[in-house]
Structures are given as structure tokens and as C-alpha cells.
Amino acid sequence: MTDVLNIVVAGDLVLDEPDAGHWLAGIAPAVRAADLAIAHLEVPHTRRGQELQGDVPAPGAPPENVAAIAEAGFDIVTLAGNHISDCGAEGIEDTLRYLDDVGVGHAGAGANLVEARKPAFTKGDGVRIAVLSYNCVGPAIGWATEDRAGSAYLRVETSDGSPIAPAAPLEHVSDEALQILESDIATVRGDANLVLVALHKGIVHVPARLAPYERPLAHAAIDAGADAVLGHHAHIIRGIEFRRGRPIFHGLGNACVVTSALSPAQDHPARREWAERRKRMFGFEPDPAYTLAPFHPEAVNAFLGRIVLTDTGEVRAGIIPVHVEAPGRPILADAQRASEIRNYVEKITRDAGLPPIIVGDDNMIRLAA
């Protein structure tokens, strides 16, 4: 058995600070070494647009930082998330244009729903790969429609009938979501050897815990023909499982998040209030040294995911351990931290009620006996 394709998959990118290349440099060697690298771009890169109402809006990130994403080695970004519409249609338009200018592929957002649901295609060592991207957490006002820019989405119903939004009690996968998955995966299957599905899903800022809909939705993607599921949104890593021999990364955490938008010391009332409220809601106090990444203290345990396709068609999974150093810069972990992060991934997988896994010294994952 020989490895024929090595893919790196990463979580959220929020690059609000100057000199984005510096913040990405600590993980860039591993990203550039891959045959293909994919991350999730959390916020629009724009200086235009009208602030979206319906969630705590993120500010537009500097357009010049998009070039650093390409320079760090990322080939494709997924866009379907709860903040990509925060600067309206103009923010999405600018982001797509800047990505196109530097040759980074994208999926998950567009000028209308047809455009937002289009996959990103790429080739690697003779393998044609399709990437699909969906927002599962809302807010619904940011979703694309036939005549409105926004993100692609999979509807997850709330347990109490409340509006679909990131902080709502999201619980049940809708029939509509299952139909979209089956249709979109079947469509790209004719043109791709490998199908990757990115889901912006989960409960933010809480270690290990999965929402009731997460496993059923990820399993549905695999059952419909996906070769791997890439989860993100929680800003802390989650456990990893396999379905039909295909890997599910339930939460890739932060790839690189450096922002002042989560600081209480700012002049935007909604963001200032959220910076305080989320600590009470989720029961954590950020380490004060992490001024640009004020997340749960366990979020310093991070990783880049690995997907390895072999010449026999097997899809293997692994991690590249990453430590987040203050004030928020991710770096490839040294030997001691790598061991700690492997142990942490095994623990949160068990704590989430997933089948136990072993992360070997080679950072590849297998099911525990």
C-alpha cells in the first residue's frame, strides 16, 4: 500500500491583524508540504458592505491579507459559515474576487444559492477532488437565496422552534438537508474521485461536546458518498471518528485566528457585549496573554488534519499537532506538546461518546481495539 495523495485540512481562518504572513508562518511549512491544503475562511475580506443584522457581526478583514493565505500554501478555502455574510453582498463579492486574484479556489458562498452551492474542483497526482461547503448553524439571514448573496446551507431545526442561529438549540437534521447532501454529492461524484464535505457546525467554546445533530449529519454525508467530513466553527478541536472507513473530523478548531473583535476593549457595542457574554454562557475565562485569540484555555491544543489516499483506495486520517502561542499564533508543536495533543485528541473523542481512537507516534489515527 502506497500513499498517492496527502491532503492537509485546517479549521477557521480569521486574519484581522496586519502582517498575516507572520501569523501563518508557524504552520505554513506543513501546509506547503501537502499535495492539497484546505481551510475555512471565516470572515469576508473587504472594506465595503453593510453590516448584517442577525448574529454578532464580524468586521471585514483586510483585503491584502488574502495573498498571505495563498503564500502559506492553501489551495482551497470553504466559505459557508455564520460570518461570511457579515458585510453583505459586497463583502462576499470582494472576497471571491480577491481569492480568484491569488488563485485560491473556493466553495460555499456566492451571489445567489446556485453559485453558493457550486463545488470547488482541483486535481492532485491524477486524482480529481471536489469540495462542498455548507453552513449548518445560521443565521438564516446570511444564507443565499435565488436572488440574494450568502452561504450554502443545510437546515438544522431547533428543538423549541426558535429561529436558526449559532446560539440556538440546534437539534434535528431536516429532510431538506439530507436531500441537498444526496443531490450535491451525487452530482459531483461523476466528476471527482474524491469528495470532501465541509460542515460549519457544532457548539462553540465547549470542550468535547457534540450537539445532537452533528453525528447524524456527518454520517449522512458519508452515506451519500463523501470520502471525508471536515467540521469547524467551535473554535476548539473536537473528536475524530470513522464511518464506513471514511474519516470525520468533527471540529478542526482554529487554523489561525488573530482578531481584536473578541476583545471587551472595543467600540463596537454588540461585539463588546458578546466578548463578555460568551464567557458566562460557556463557563470559561481566556488566558489574558491571548489577546488576539481569547478562546477557551484548552484551545491551545490544536491540529491540522491529514487525509491520505492510498493506491488501494483507502482513505487514512491523521493529525499534525499544533500549539497556539500567545497572543494567538499557531506553530507546529514540538515533541512534548505533540504527545500532549495526541493524548488530548484521544480524550475528547472518548468524552464525546465517539468510538475510541489511538493517535500513534506517527500522528496517524486508528480505532482502538
Residue with cell 481512537: 357
DSSP strands (E only) in 111-227 = 120-124, 127-135, 150-151, 156-158, 170-173, 194-200
Beta strands 194-200 and 228-232 are parallel
Selection from 174, 223, 181 nearest residue 198 by Cα: 181
Residue-level pLDDT at 360: 98
Residue-level pLDDT at 1: 72
Cα-based torsion angle of the residue sequence 333, 335, 336, 337 in order, rounded to the nearest 10 degrees: 20
Selection from 269, 264, 235, 238 nearest residue 251 by Cα: 238
Residue-level pLDDT at 98: 98
Beta strands 365-367 and 357-359 are antiparallel
Taking the C-alpha atoms of residue 133 and residue 199, their distance in angstroms, rounded to an integer, is 6
Taking the C-alpha atoms of residue 23 and residue 15, their distance in angstroms, rounded to an integer, is 8
> Which residue ranges form the domains of the chain, and what is each CATH number?
3-367 (3.60.21.10)
pTM of this structure: 0.97
Residue with cell 500522528: 363
Taking the C-alpha atoms of residue 161 and residue 173, their distance in angstroms, rounded to an integer, is 13
Q: Are 261 and 58 in contact (CB under 8 A)?
A: yes
Residue-level pLDDT at 357: 98
Selection from 225, 159, 236 nearest residue 186 by Cα: 225
184 exposure class (CB count in 10 Å sphere: 0-12, 13-18, 19+): buried
What is the pLDDT tens value at each position of the chain, 369 positions in all? 788 899 999 999 999 999 999 999 999 999 999 999 999 999 999 999 989 877 889 999 999 999 999 999 999 999 999 999 999 999 999 999 999 999 999 999 999 999 999 999 998 778 999 999 999 999 999 999 999 999 999 999 999 999 999 999 999 999 999 999 999 999 999 999 999 999 999 999 999 999 999 999 999 999 999 999 999 999 999 999 999 999 999 999 999 999 999 988 888 999 999 999 999 999 999 999 999 999 999 999 999 999 999 999 999 999 999 999 999 999 999 999 999 999 999 999 999 999 999 999 999 999 997
**Kind and range of the H or E run holding 24:** helix 20-24
